[in-house]
Amino acid sequence: MAKRDKHVTPHPKGGWQVKSEGADRAGSRHPTQREAIDRARDSARREKTEVVIHDRKGRIRDSDSYGNDPNPPKDEKH
């Protein structure tokens, strides 16, 4: 089974939802974006996937990887 990223998006009836990529329905619905992000991160950590956070207009504003990231950040170590 392929692992599917978690998307935090506005819910059509208000609040915020967490949807797995490709899913027809939201996995959960929350009154605030913060609550939705927290739920998505918990799920992504368990499933080793990515969280993609959208703004109110549906544009991607941030993402976090909790799995085997093929393009990890290249931090300089001193």
Residue-wise pLDDT tens digits, 39-54? 999 999 999 999 999 9
Is residue 38 situated within a structural domain?
yes
Is residue 22 situated within a structural domain?
yes
Is residue 1 situated within a structural domain?
no
Tens digits of residue pLDDT in 21-76: 999 999 999 999 999 999 999 999 999 999 999 999 999 999 999 876 666 656 55
Neighbours of 1 (CB within 10 A): 3
**pTM of this structure:** 0.83
Token output for 31? 């009154």
Is residue 23 situated within a structural domain?
yes
Is residue 73 situated within a structural domain?
no
| Domains contained in the chain, number | 1
- pLDDT band for position 15 (50/70/90)? very high
* Domain that residue 14 falls in: 6-65
